[in-house]
Amino acid sequence: MHELAERIQQRNLRALARAITLIENDDPDKLDLLSDLFSIQKQAHYIGITGSPGAGKSSLVNRMISFLRAQDLTVAVIAVDPTSPFSGGALLGDRVRMNDHFTDPGVFIRSMATRGSLGGLSRATKDTIRVCDAYGFDVILVETVGVGQSELDIMKVVDTTSVVLTPNSGDVLQIFKAGIMEIADLFIINKADLPGVRKLKTQLEEFMMISNSKGWQAPIVQTVSTENKGIEMLWEEMKRHRTYLYETNLGKEQRKKQLVHEVYDLMREELWQSIEDFVESDNTKREQLENVDADPYQMAKNWLEEWKQGGG
């Protein structure tokens, strides 16, 4: 077994942080480490929190941490922040909002950059969830960048997907068009002390009738995170959803689909890395890439064939 995996199994916090850094840096030992960790995962409840910027996701997560700790549950938070397309850096602001919990040994908070991932989640997010699960956290909260067409990736990595909305924000039509109605297991109307809550709730109910989902009917929970209201009800609905997953075939089918996505994602990542190394290690190919008038289709076709013949 990998040395880091053994230390994580012993609940060594430094080993946990080091393993995540190793994963983010795409270390050659990454797959071996993750394979070892997979065998010791503890079945934590993976919860996704997504929604438009300004919906109060971070404040909500902050309140949830406090509530869960009061229930004597340990919590890992993975806050996925957008990456700048120019600098490659990320504004890791969520850690600042959750600084009340930094000294709590039962809470682990890690900010991660999307690094250009179109799905709003970095590839390392799923791997980090697995590491936190193997460590032994009871609940793993994944807060994503925002909501939109590209946010559907959240359903591939969590058990319960929660979509956060606010009154008078106009988000309902957008999430319906984006297909998020189909992946939301729970709707949270945050800032429920503002006008327009009843209208928003009615809109959600109408759109859910149109989508005609079979099986699980996504509940609508009202919260006011700034006043710590609705958090207990929110947690009860999240637990109810997890129970539903494990007592019906839906959960089994969901885990099966997630496994398929994960296997293909891992193979795609390895293939991409191999092809990129093949091109970047060849000075002639790199020079061709600098020719703005070069035919990209022909280059891709020729190089892919060459890569395949080389046993890539």
pTM for this structure? 0.84
User: What does the pLDDT read at residue 262?
Assistant: 83
Is 257 inside any structural domain? no
271 vs 51: which has the higher pLDDT: 271
Give the pLDDT confidence score for residue 152 in this predicted structure. Answer: 66
Examine residue 284 and state whether it is found in any structural domain, yes or no. Answer: yes
Task: Kindly state whether residues 166 and 297 are assigned to the same domain.
Answer: no
> In the predicted model, what is the mean pLDDT of the chain?
83
User: Is 61 inside any structural domain?
Assistant: yes
- Residues 23, 171, single domain; the answer is no
Share of the chain above pLDDT 90, in %: 45
Q: Tens digits of per-residue pLDDT, 82-127?
A: 554 333 444 444 455 566 677 888 999 998 876 544 444 667 888 8
pLDDT at 107: 95
pLDDT of residue 129: 92
- Domain match, 126 and 4 both: no
For 190-221, the pLDDT digits (tens) are 999 999 899 989 988 888 887 656 678 899 99
Does one domain contain both 31 and 48? no
**Do 191 and 240 have their domain in common?**
yes
Residue 2 structural domain: 1-40
HSE-CB for 47 with a 13 A CA cutoff: 30
Model confidence at 270, pLDDT cuts 50, 70, 90, reads confident
CA distance 2 to 28: 13
Domain count within the chain:
3
Dihedral Cα 280, 285, 291, 297, nearest 10 deg: -100
Task: Say yes or no: 243 and 293 in one domain.
Answer: no
Indicate the pairing of strand 75-81 with strand 139-143: parallel
Whether 202 and 108 map to the same domain: the answer is yes
C-alpha separations of 103 from 11, 92, 100, 114, 132 in Å: 16, 19, 8, 26, 18
